Structure 1
Protein backbone atom coordinates (compact mmCIF):
# COMPACT_ATOMS: atom_id res chain seq x y z
CA UNK A 1 0.00 0.00 0.00
CA UNK A 2 1.40 3.33 -1.04
CA UNK A 3 0.38 6.98 -1.32
CA UNK A 4 2.15 8.91 -4.06
CA UNK A 5 0.51 12.32 -4.16
CA UNK A 6 -1.71 14.54 -2.03
CA UNK A 7 -2.85 17.89 -3.39
CA UNK A 8 -5.29 20.72 -2.74
CA UNK A 9 -7.01 22.67 -5.53
CA UNK A 10 -9.56 25.40 -5.99
CA UNK A 11 -12.10 24.41 -8.64
CA UNK A 12 -12.67 27.45 -10.82
CA UNK A 13 -15.28 27.95 -13.52
CA UNK A 14 -13.03 26.55 -16.27
CA UNK A 15 -9.96 25.09 -14.61
CA UNK A 16 -8.58 23.82 -11.32
CA UNK A 17 -5.99 25.95 -9.55
CA UNK A 18 -3.27 24.04 -7.66
CA UNK A 19 -2.85 25.51 -4.18
CA UNK A 20 -0.50 23.01 -2.52
CA UNK A 21 0.88 19.52 -3.18
CA UNK A 22 3.08 16.86 -1.62
CA UNK A 23 4.65 13.86 -3.34
CA UNK A 24 6.36 10.63 -2.35
CA UNK A 25 8.13 9.47 -5.51
CA UNK A 26 10.80 7.36 -3.82
CA UNK A 27 9.67 4.21 -5.66
CA UNK A 28 10.38 5.82 -9.05
CA UNK A 29 13.79 6.18 -10.65
CA UNK A 30 15.58 9.48 -10.06
CA UNK A 31 15.29 10.62 -13.68
CA UNK A 32 11.58 9.66 -13.84
CA UNK A 33 10.47 11.64 -10.80
CA UNK A 34 10.03 15.05 -12.44
CA UNK A 35 7.90 13.63 -15.27
CA UNK A 36 5.87 11.47 -12.87
CA UNK A 37 5.22 14.49 -10.61
CA UNK A 38 4.06 16.61 -13.56
CA UNK A 39 1.77 13.84 -14.76
CA UNK A 40 0.27 13.39 -11.25
CA UNK A 41 -0.39 17.14 -11.02
CA UNK A 42 -1.97 17.18 -14.49
CA UNK A 43 -4.14 14.13 -13.72
CA UNK A 44 -5.23 15.54 -10.36
CA UNK A 45 -6.24 18.87 -11.91
CA UNK A 46 -8.15 17.12 -14.69
CA UNK A 47 -10.05 14.97 -12.18
CA UNK A 48 -10.97 18.03 -10.09
CA UNK A 49 -12.21 19.86 -13.20
CA UNK A 50 -14.41 16.90 -14.21
CA UNK A 51 -15.83 16.21 -10.73
CA UNK A 52 -18.98 18.07 -9.75
CA UNK A 53 -19.27 20.28 -6.70
CA UNK A 54 -20.08 18.48 -3.43
CA UNK A 55 -19.06 15.02 -4.59
CA UNK A 56 -16.42 12.34 -4.19
CA UNK A 57 -15.07 10.07 -6.88
CA UNK A 58 -12.42 7.43 -7.52
CA UNK A 59 -10.76 7.11 -10.91
CA UNK A 60 -8.55 4.19 -11.92
CA UNK A 61 -5.55 5.03 -14.08
CA UNK A 62 -3.41 1.97 -14.88
CA UNK A 63 -2.27 0.55 -11.50
CA UNK A 64 -3.17 3.73 -9.61
CA UNK A 65 -6.36 5.02 -8.00
CA UNK A 66 -7.06 8.74 -7.86
CA UNK A 67 -9.53 9.72 -5.14
CA UNK A 68 -11.04 13.19 -5.27
CA UNK A 69 -13.31 15.19 -2.98
CA UNK A 70 -14.72 18.52 -4.22
CA UNK A 71 -16.55 20.42 -1.49
CA UNK A 72 -19.48 22.76 -2.10
CA UNK A 73 -17.17 25.76 -1.58
CA UNK A 74 -15.03 24.54 -4.56
CA UNK A 75 -12.09 23.54 -2.39
CA UNK A 76 -10.88 20.14 -3.60
CA UNK A 77 -8.30 17.56 -2.67
CA UNK A 78 -6.88 14.60 -4.57
CA UNK A 79 -4.87 11.62 -3.37
CA UNK A 80 -3.13 9.23 -5.76
CA UNK A 81 -2.48 5.77 -4.34
CA UNK A 82 -1.90 2.24 -5.50
CA UNK A 83 -4.95 0.00 -5.94
CA UNK A 84 -4.35 -1.79 -2.61
CA UNK A 85 -4.73 1.37 -0.52
CA UNK A 86 -8.15 1.42 1.27
CA UNK A 87 -10.64 3.77 -0.35
CA UNK A 88 -12.33 4.68 2.95
CA UNK A 89 -9.00 5.79 4.44
CA UNK A 90 -8.27 7.89 1.35
CA UNK A 91 -11.54 9.79 1.69
CA UNK A 92 -10.99 10.25 5.43
CA UNK A 93 -7.60 11.76 4.62
CA UNK A 94 -9.08 14.09 1.97
CA UNK A 95 -11.72 15.36 4.36
CA UNK A 96 -9.17 16.01 7.14
CA UNK A 97 -6.87 17.86 4.75
CA UNK A 98 -9.65 20.07 3.41
CA UNK A 99 -10.96 20.89 6.88
CA UNK A 100 -7.51 21.83 8.16
CA UNK A 101 -6.60 23.74 4.99
CA UNK A 102 -9.81 25.81 5.07
CA UNK A 103 -9.19 26.65 8.75
CA UNK A 104 -5.63 27.84 8.07
CA UNK A 105 -5.95 29.51 4.65
CA UNK A 106 -8.59 32.18 4.05
CA UNK A 107 -11.01 31.48 1.19
CA UNK A 108 -10.18 34.79 -0.52
CA UNK A 109 -6.72 33.35 -1.34
CA UNK A 110 -8.04 30.17 -3.00
CA UNK A 111 -8.87 31.44 -6.52
CA UNK A 112 -5.50 33.12 -7.12
CA UNK A 113 -3.18 31.25 -4.77
CA UNK A 114 -0.14 29.27 -5.89
CA UNK A 115 1.93 26.61 -4.11
CA UNK A 116 4.55 29.32 -3.44
CA UNK A 117 2.12 31.88 -1.96
CA UNK A 118 -0.09 29.57 0.12
CA UNK A 119 1.27 29.05 3.63
CA UNK A 120 0.17 25.54 4.57
CA UNK A 121 2.58 22.78 5.60
CA UNK A 122 0.22 19.96 6.52
CA UNK A 123 0.34 17.97 3.27
CA UNK A 124 3.84 16.53 3.77
CA UNK A 125 2.92 15.49 7.32
CA UNK A 126 -0.33 13.82 6.23
CA UNK A 127 1.33 12.09 3.27
CA UNK A 128 3.95 10.58 5.59
CA UNK A 129 1.49 9.71 8.36
CA UNK A 130 -1.02 8.00 6.06
CA UNK A 131 1.54 5.80 4.28
CA UNK A 132 0.51 3.10 6.74
CA UNK A 133 -3.31 3.23 6.85
CA UNK A 134 -3.44 0.99 9.93
CA UNK A 135 -1.45 3.48 12.00
CA UNK A 136 -3.12 6.60 10.64
CA UNK A 137 -6.74 5.51 10.70
CA UNK A 138 -8.24 4.10 13.91
CA UNK A 139 -11.01 2.19 12.10
CA UNK A 140 -8.52 0.41 9.84
CA UNK A 141 -6.38 -0.48 12.83
CA UNK A 142 -9.38 -1.91 14.70
CA UNK A 143 -10.50 -3.83 11.60
CA UNK A 144 -7.01 -5.33 11.19
CA UNK A 145 -7.00 -6.38 14.85
CA UNK A 146 -10.46 -7.93 14.47
CA UNK A 147 -9.35 -9.82 11.37
CA UNK A 148 -6.34 -11.20 13.24
CA UNK A 149 -8.54 -12.17 16.20
CA UNK A 150 -10.99 -13.94 13.91
CA UNK A 151 -8.16 -16.00 12.41
CA UNK A 152 -6.83 -16.93 15.85
CA UNK A 153 -10.31 -17.93 17.07
CA UNK A 154 -10.92 -19.93 13.92
CA UNK A 155 -7.64 -21.78 14.35
CA UNK A 156 -8.42 -22.46 18.00
CA UNK A 157 -11.84 -23.94 17.14
CA UNK A 158 -10.29 -26.12 14.42
CA UNK A 159 -7.64 -27.44 16.79
CA UNK A 160 -10.31 -28.09 19.42
CA UNK A 161 -12.48 -30.04 16.99
CA UNK A 162 -9.52 -32.22 15.99
CA UNK A 163 -9.33 -33.55 19.54
CA UNK A 164 -12.73 -35.27 19.60
CA UNK A 165 -12.17 -37.40 22.69
CA UNK A 166 -11.14 -34.47 24.87
CA UNK A 167 -14.14 -32.49 23.70
CA UNK A 168 -16.37 -35.47 24.56
CA UNK A 169 -14.85 -35.56 28.04
CA UNK A 170 -15.42 -31.84 28.51
CA UNK A 171 -19.05 -32.15 27.46
CA UNK A 172 -19.76 -35.06 29.79
CA UNK A 173 -18.09 -33.31 32.77
CA UNK A 174 -19.63 -29.91 32.12
CA UNK A 175 -21.84 -28.42 34.81
CA UNK A 176 -23.14 -25.77 32.41
CA UNK A 177 -24.80 -28.23 30.03
CA UNK A 178 -28.11 -29.80 30.91
CA UNK A 179 -29.05 -33.44 30.33
CA UNK A 180 -30.85 -32.58 27.08
CA UNK A 181 -27.86 -30.66 25.73
CA UNK A 182 -25.51 -33.54 26.52
CA UNK A 183 -27.89 -36.00 24.84
CA UNK A 184 -28.15 -33.75 21.79
CA UNK A 185 -24.35 -33.53 21.57
CA UNK A 186 -23.95 -37.32 21.78
CA UNK A 187 -26.62 -37.89 19.11
CA UNK A 188 -25.06 -35.30 16.79
CA UNK A 189 -21.63 -36.79 17.39
CA UNK A 190 -22.86 -40.29 16.47
CA UNK A 191 -24.54 -39.02 13.30
CA UNK A 192 -21.42 -37.12 12.24
CA UNK A 193 -19.16 -40.10 12.93
CA UNK A 194 -21.11 -42.31 10.53
CA UNK A 195 -20.51 -39.77 7.75
CA UNK A 196 -16.76 -39.68 8.43
CA UNK A 197 -16.40 -43.44 7.83
CA UNK A 198 -17.77 -43.16 4.32
Structure 2
Protein backbone atom coordinates (compact mmCIF):
# COMPACT_ATOMS: atom_id res chain seq x y z
CA UNK A 1 0.00 0.00 0.00
CA UNK A 2 1.41 3.33 -1.03
CA UNK A 3 0.36 6.98 -1.17
CA UNK A 4 2.01 9.05 -3.89
CA UNK A 5 0.41 12.50 -3.81
CA UNK A 6 -2.01 14.60 -1.80
CA UNK A 7 -3.56 17.78 -3.21
CA UNK A 8 -5.74 20.60 -1.88
CA UNK A 9 -7.45 22.17 -4.88
CA UNK A 10 -9.97 24.94 -5.40
CA UNK A 11 -12.63 23.93 -7.92
CA UNK A 12 -13.82 26.81 -10.06
CA UNK A 13 -17.56 27.40 -9.45
CA UNK A 14 -18.05 28.57 -13.05
CA UNK A 15 -16.45 25.49 -14.63
CA UNK A 16 -13.05 27.06 -15.23
CA UNK A 17 -9.67 25.54 -14.51
CA UNK A 18 -9.10 24.16 -11.01
CA UNK A 19 -6.26 25.69 -8.97
CA UNK A 20 -3.88 23.63 -6.82
CA UNK A 21 -3.54 25.46 -3.51
CA UNK A 22 -1.10 23.00 -1.93
CA UNK A 23 0.39 19.60 -2.72
CA UNK A 24 2.63 17.00 -1.14
CA UNK A 25 4.23 14.07 -2.95
CA UNK A 26 6.19 10.95 -2.12
CA UNK A 27 7.72 9.79 -5.41
CA UNK A 28 10.73 7.90 -4.00
CA UNK A 29 9.44 4.63 -5.46
CA UNK A 30 9.98 6.04 -8.98
CA UNK A 31 13.33 6.43 -10.71
CA UNK A 32 15.03 9.80 -10.31
CA UNK A 33 14.54 10.76 -13.97
CA UNK A 34 10.88 9.66 -13.95
CA UNK A 35 9.83 11.77 -10.97
CA UNK A 36 9.22 15.08 -12.73
CA UNK A 37 7.06 13.42 -15.41
CA UNK A 38 5.11 11.44 -12.79
CA UNK A 39 4.63 14.63 -10.76
CA UNK A 40 3.27 16.50 -13.79
CA UNK A 41 0.94 13.64 -14.69
CA UNK A 42 -0.43 13.46 -11.13
CA UNK A 43 -1.05 17.24 -11.08
CA UNK A 44 -2.81 17.03 -14.44
CA UNK A 45 -4.95 14.09 -13.26
CA UNK A 46 -5.84 15.80 -9.97
CA UNK A 47 -7.02 18.93 -11.79
CA UNK A 48 -9.05 17.00 -14.38
CA UNK A 49 -10.74 14.85 -11.74
CA UNK A 50 -11.57 17.95 -9.68
CA UNK A 51 -13.09 19.70 -12.67
CA UNK A 52 -15.16 16.63 -13.62
CA UNK A 53 -16.44 15.86 -10.10
CA UNK A 54 -19.61 17.60 -8.97
CA UNK A 55 -19.82 19.65 -5.78
CA UNK A 56 -20.51 17.52 -2.69
CA UNK A 57 -19.42 14.30 -4.42
CA UNK A 58 -16.81 11.69 -3.58
CA UNK A 59 -15.30 9.22 -5.97
CA UNK A 60 -12.37 6.91 -6.55
CA UNK A 61 -11.07 6.67 -10.11
CA UNK A 62 -8.77 3.92 -11.38
CA UNK A 63 -6.04 4.78 -13.87
CA UNK A 64 -3.75 1.85 -14.75
CA UNK A 65 -2.35 0.62 -11.41
CA UNK A 66 -3.19 3.85 -9.57
CA UNK A 67 -6.28 5.19 -7.79
CA UNK A 68 -7.24 8.83 -7.51
CA UNK A 69 -9.62 9.51 -4.62
CA UNK A 70 -11.44 12.85 -4.74
CA UNK A 71 -13.80 14.78 -2.49
CA UNK A 72 -15.30 18.13 -3.53
CA UNK A 73 -16.87 20.00 -0.63
CA UNK A 74 -19.86 22.34 -0.92
CA UNK A 75 -17.48 25.33 -0.74
CA UNK A 76 -15.52 23.98 -3.78
CA UNK A 77 -12.49 23.08 -1.67
CA UNK A 78 -11.30 19.73 -3.00
CA UNK A 79 -8.97 17.02 -1.80
CA UNK A 80 -7.33 14.55 -4.19
CA UNK A 81 -5.25 11.58 -3.04
CA UNK A 82 -3.28 9.42 -5.48
CA UNK A 83 -2.49 5.91 -4.22
CA UNK A 84 -1.93 2.41 -5.46
CA UNK A 85 -4.95 0.12 -5.85
CA UNK A 86 -4.32 -1.73 -2.59
CA UNK A 87 -4.78 1.35 -0.40
CA UNK A 88 -8.02 1.22 1.62
CA UNK A 89 -10.67 3.51 0.06
CA UNK A 90 -12.36 4.30 3.39
CA UNK A 91 -9.05 5.39 4.91
CA UNK A 92 -8.28 7.47 1.80
CA UNK A 93 -11.56 9.39 2.12
CA UNK A 94 -11.04 9.76 5.88
CA UNK A 95 -7.68 11.39 5.12
CA UNK A 96 -9.30 13.72 2.56
CA UNK A 97 -11.85 14.85 5.18
CA UNK A 98 -9.10 15.51 7.69
CA UNK A 99 -6.94 17.42 5.20
CA UNK A 100 -9.78 19.68 4.09
CA UNK A 101 -10.87 20.40 7.67
CA UNK A 102 -7.35 21.28 8.79
CA UNK A 103 -6.69 23.35 5.66
CA UNK A 104 -9.91 25.32 6.30
CA UNK A 105 -8.75 26.10 9.84
CA UNK A 106 -5.25 27.15 8.76
CA UNK A 107 -6.08 29.12 5.61
CA UNK A 108 -9.07 31.51 5.67
CA UNK A 109 -11.61 30.81 2.94
CA UNK A 110 -11.74 34.44 1.78
CA UNK A 111 -8.08 34.14 0.66
CA UNK A 112 -8.43 30.96 -1.45
CA UNK A 113 -9.35 32.70 -4.72
CA UNK A 114 -6.45 35.16 -4.53
CA UNK A 115 -3.74 32.59 -3.78
CA UNK A 116 -1.28 31.71 -6.51
CA UNK A 117 -0.90 28.04 -7.40
CA UNK A 118 0.86 26.14 -4.58
CA UNK A 119 1.14 29.28 -2.43
CA UNK A 120 -1.11 28.35 0.50
CA UNK A 121 0.59 28.36 3.88
CA UNK A 122 -0.27 24.84 5.04
CA UNK A 123 2.80 22.92 6.19
CA UNK A 124 0.92 19.88 7.61
CA UNK A 125 0.28 18.27 4.21
CA UNK A 126 3.61 16.38 3.91
CA UNK A 127 3.23 15.14 7.50
CA UNK A 128 -0.27 13.82 6.82
CA UNK A 129 0.91 12.11 3.63
CA UNK A 130 3.71 10.46 5.58
CA UNK A 131 1.52 9.50 8.57
CA UNK A 132 -1.14 7.84 6.42
CA UNK A 133 1.37 5.75 4.43
CA UNK A 134 0.50 2.98 6.89
CA UNK A 135 -3.32 3.05 7.18
CA UNK A 136 -3.27 0.55 10.07
CA UNK A 137 -1.34 2.96 12.26
CA UNK A 138 -2.97 6.20 11.12
CA UNK A 139 -6.60 5.12 11.10
CA UNK A 140 -8.05 3.97 14.44
CA UNK A 141 -10.93 2.04 12.86
CA UNK A 142 -8.62 0.00 10.61
CA UNK A 143 -6.37 -0.76 13.59
CA UNK A 144 -9.39 -1.78 15.68
CA UNK A 145 -10.64 -4.09 12.90
CA UNK A 146 -7.22 -5.78 12.67
CA UNK A 147 -7.15 -6.22 16.45
CA UNK A 148 -10.65 -7.75 16.37
CA UNK A 149 -9.64 -10.11 13.56
CA UNK A 150 -6.65 -11.29 15.60
CA UNK A 151 -8.87 -11.79 18.67
CA UNK A 152 -11.37 -13.75 16.60
CA UNK A 153 -8.59 -16.02 15.31
CA UNK A 154 -7.39 -16.68 18.87
CA UNK A 155 -10.96 -17.35 20.02
CA UNK A 156 -11.57 -19.83 17.19
CA UNK A 157 -8.38 -21.65 18.14
CA UNK A 158 -9.55 -21.92 21.75
CA UNK A 159 -12.99 -23.27 20.81
CA UNK A 160 -11.47 -25.81 18.43
CA UNK A 161 -9.10 -27.06 21.12
CA UNK A 162 -12.01 -27.49 23.56
CA UNK A 163 -14.07 -29.37 20.97
CA UNK A 164 -11.19 -31.78 20.37
CA UNK A 165 -11.39 -32.83 24.02
CA UNK A 166 -15.12 -33.63 23.84
CA UNK A 167 -15.18 -36.68 26.10
CA UNK A 168 -13.14 -35.02 28.82
CA UNK A 169 -15.53 -32.08 28.67
CA UNK A 170 -18.47 -34.49 29.13
CA UNK A 171 -16.76 -35.92 32.21
CA UNK A 172 -16.16 -32.44 33.63
CA UNK A 173 -19.81 -31.50 33.10
CA UNK A 174 -20.99 -34.70 34.80
CA UNK A 175 -18.70 -34.19 37.83
CA UNK A 176 -19.20 -30.45 38.18
CA UNK A 177 -20.79 -29.22 41.38
CA UNK A 178 -21.16 -25.71 39.92
CA UNK A 179 -23.72 -26.91 37.38
CA UNK A 180 -27.22 -27.76 38.54
CA UNK A 181 -29.26 -30.74 37.28
CA UNK A 182 -31.14 -28.49 34.85
CA UNK A 183 -27.88 -27.17 33.32
CA UNK A 184 -26.47 -30.68 32.94
CA UNK A 185 -29.70 -31.81 31.25
CA UNK A 186 -29.56 -28.80 28.93
CA UNK A 187 -25.94 -29.64 28.00
CA UNK A 188 -26.82 -33.27 27.20
CA UNK A 189 -29.89 -32.26 25.16
CA UNK A 190 -27.92 -29.65 23.23
CA UNK A 191 -25.17 -32.16 22.52
CA UNK A 192 -27.67 -34.73 21.20
CA UNK A 193 -29.41 -32.10 19.08
CA UNK A 194 -26.10 -30.93 17.61
CA UNK A 195 -24.96 -34.52 17.03
CA UNK A 196 -28.01 -35.35 14.90
CA UNK A 197 -27.31 -32.36 12.63
CA UNK A 198 -23.60 -33.03 12.21
CA UNK A 199 -22.36 -34.82 9.09
CA UNK A 200 -18.80 -35.30 10.26
Residue 25 of structure 2: aligned partner: 23
Cα gap change, 1:162/1:19 in structure 2, threshold over 3 Å: closer, same or farther? same
Q: How far off is 1:150 after superposition?
A: 0.9
Q: How far off is 1:93 after superposition?
A: 0.9
Report if aligned partners of 1:21, 1:115 keep a CA contact under 8 Å in 2. Answer: no
Q: Which stretch shifts more, 6-15 or 175-184?
A: 175-184
The equivalences for 1:1-198 within 5 A come to 1-12=1-12, 13=14, 14-189=16-191
Q: How many residue pairs were aligned? A: 198
Gaps of 5+ in 1: none
Q: Which stretch shifts more, 145-154 or 30-39?
A: 30-39
Report if aligned partners of 2:21, 2:120 keep a CA contact under 8 Å in 1. Answer: yes
Cα gap change, 1:194/1:96 in structure 2, threshold over 3 Å: closer, same or farther? closer
Runs of 4+ in 1 over 4 A off after TM superposition: 190-198
Aligned equivalents of 1:194, 1:101: Cα separation in 2: 63
Cα gap change, 1:100/1:195 in structure 2, threshold over 3 Å: closer, same or farther? closer
SS of residue in 2 equivalent to 1:111 = helix
Q: How far off is 1:193 after superposition?
A: 5.8
Q: How far off is 1:113 after superposition?
A: 2.2
How does the TM-score come out when normalised to structure 2?
0.88
Gaps of 5+ in 2: none
How does the TM-score come out when normalised to structure 1?
0.89
Q: Deviations over 1:73-101 (max 9, x none)?
A: 11101111222222221111111111111
Q: How far off is 1:190 after superposition?
A: 5.0
SS of residue in 1 equivalent to 2:113 = coil
Cα gap change, 1:178/1:75 in structure 2, threshold over 3 Å: closer, same or farther? same
